């Protein structure tokens, strides 16, 4: 366990915004996590648990409490048969590393999550997904600490209550701290139909033989072209969620914008790509002080200098108002806030 004081939130988040965190505790195993949580509870200070901070935004006033950085690492093949395998990974493991290792084993199910910055333990919190796959699709259990009892618990997929960019972990006052994730992945070849942009890439490159590695390689290339690395350009990934609207709203949208892409969900509601809304509202490349939408993908917000949270608030509001005025759709921010 490593304890530091007065650390800038900009050093703990990939978008590099925020003031000072009073205390930062880095843990590398479950016993250290339990110890850190017990110390925090005894102190009465507020706290948050972070992985890479790749989907988090800090405030200018900082965090007057404790940030616990989860670096619990582990990768274990619990069971492997011809049809597939059960994989257990520590919450602090890189999500992309877990994807890479499962793909090397010939396993399918999470290859489309390649190159997403962050940890495997953070993925269930917002049911991380990309190109038609979500972590919840093949998750079997989540090991966590129940902070109300300080006991370790095992949560099933059903317990996690996965939805679009949502789960039980975002609610109940963050009752659960994830320590490990178990996945059940099949050893099968990915099959079409694929997510639209992935299908386009495969067609353009004449790829007709699909394996987990082929799909992983394709996704990595697509992301390189459309999504900047936070190591090079500070960002928090997709800044807005794809709005989900009622069918009547979708019908109205398509009267004026018949080319607007839409995905009909199981419950009859319709998901509209937020990136399309921003681009067609003329917001690709929009800038405000040190912030701008990425020139290759309007959905990504870039911190091109030393942006403050106040500037981000102004930037976000301007975009939301523009989209609301043009399409009547309200955009919701995807990254969480400290």
Q: Break the chain down into helix, strand, coil percent, rounded to 5.
A: 30, 30, 40
**CB of 336 within 8 A of CB of 55?**
yes
Q: What is the pTM of this model?
A: 0.92
Q: Are residues 59 and 95 in the same domain?
A: no
The reported pLDDT for the residue numbered 172 is 80
Q: Are residues 120 and 33 in the same domain?
A: no
Alpha carbon separation from 278 to 84, 274, 297, 300, 310 (Å, rounded): 40, 6, 9, 10, 21
The residues carrying an active-site annotation are: 165, 238, 334
Tell me whether residue 219 is in a domain.
Answer: no
**Residue burial 21-41, b: 16+ Cβ < 10 Å; e: rest:** bebbbbbbbbebbbebbebbe
Alpha carbon separation from 215 to 99, 179, 205, 309 (Å, rounded): 12, 29, 12, 37
Q: Are residues 241 and 150 in the same domain?
A: no
Q: Are residues 146 and 50 in the same domain?
A: no
Q: Are residues 45 and 95 in the same domain?
A: no
Q: Are residues 244 and 333 in the same domain?
A: yes
Q: Are residues 44 and 101 in the same domain?
A: no
Place of tokens 């917001």: 283
- Domain of 11, in residue numbers: 2-70
Tell me whether residue 94 is in a domain.
Answer: yes
**CB of 121 within 8 A of CB of 211?**
no
Largest Cα span, the chain: 60
Tell me whether residue 33 is in a domain.
Answer: yes
C-alpha dihedral (277, 278, 280, 283), degrees to nearest 10:
170
Q: Are residues 97 and 128 in the same domain?
A: yes
Give the CATH number for residue 33.
3.30.43.10
The residue out of 70, 98, 130 marking a domain boundary is 70
**Residue burial 129-163, b: 16+ Cβ < 10 Å; e: rest:** bbbbbbbbbbbbbbbbbebeeeeeeebebeebebe
How many domains, in total, are found in the chain?
3
The reported pLDDT for the residue numbered 94 is 97
Q: Are residues 305 and 277 in the same domain?
A: yes
Give the CATH number for residue 123.
3.30.465.10
Strands of the chain (E only): list them. 2-8, 20-27, 47-50, 56-57, 63-70, 75-81, 84-90, 129-130, 133-134, 139-146, 151-156, 176-186, 235-238, 244-245, 263-264, 270-271, 287-288, 291-294, 297-303, 336-337
**Which residues of the chain are under the pLDDT cut of 50?**
none
The reported pLDDT for the residue numbered 173 is 81
């Amino acid at each position: 366990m490593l304890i530091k004081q007065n650390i800038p939130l900009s050093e703990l988040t990939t978008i590099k915004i925020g003031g000072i965190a009073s205390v930062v505790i880095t843990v590398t195993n479950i016993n250290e996590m339990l110890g850190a949580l017990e110390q925090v509870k005894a102190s009465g200070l507020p706290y948050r648990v972070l992985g890479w901070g790749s989907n988090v935004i800090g405030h200018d006033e900082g965090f007057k409490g404790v940030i616990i950085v989860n670096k619990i690492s582990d990768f274990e093949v619990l069971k492997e048969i011809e049809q597939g395998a059960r994989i257990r990974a520590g919450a602090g493991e890189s999500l992309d590393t877990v994807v890479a290792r499962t793909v090397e084993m010939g396993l399918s199910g999470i290859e489309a999550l390649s190159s997403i910055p962050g940890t495997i333990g953070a993925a269930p919190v917002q049911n991380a997904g990309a190109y038609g796959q979500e972590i919840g699709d093949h998750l079997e259990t989540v090991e966590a600490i129940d902070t109300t009892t300080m006991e370790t618990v095992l949560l099933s997929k059903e317990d996690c209550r996965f939805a679009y960019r949502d789960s039980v972990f975002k609610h109940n006052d963050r009752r659960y701290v994830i320590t490990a994730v178990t996945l059940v992945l099949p050893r099968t070849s990915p099959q079409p139909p694929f997510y639209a942009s992935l299908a386009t890439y495969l067609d353009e490159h004449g790829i007709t033989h699909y394996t987990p590695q082929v799909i992983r390689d394709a996704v990595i290339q697509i992301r390189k072209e459309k999504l900047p690395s936070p190591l090079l350009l500070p960002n928090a990934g997709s800044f807005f969620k794809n709005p989900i609207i009622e069918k009547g709203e979708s019908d109205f949208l398509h009267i004026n914008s018949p080319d607007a892409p839409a995905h009909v969900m199981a419950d009859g509601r319709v998901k509209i790509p937020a990136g399309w809304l921003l681009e067609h509202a003329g917001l690709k490349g929009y800038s405000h002080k040190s912030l701008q939408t990425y020139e290759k993908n309007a959905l990504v917000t870039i911190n091109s200098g030393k942006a403050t949270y106040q500037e981000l608030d102004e930037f976000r509001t301007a975009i939301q108002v523009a989209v609301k005025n043009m399409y009547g759709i309200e955009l919701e921010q995807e990254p969480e806030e400290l």
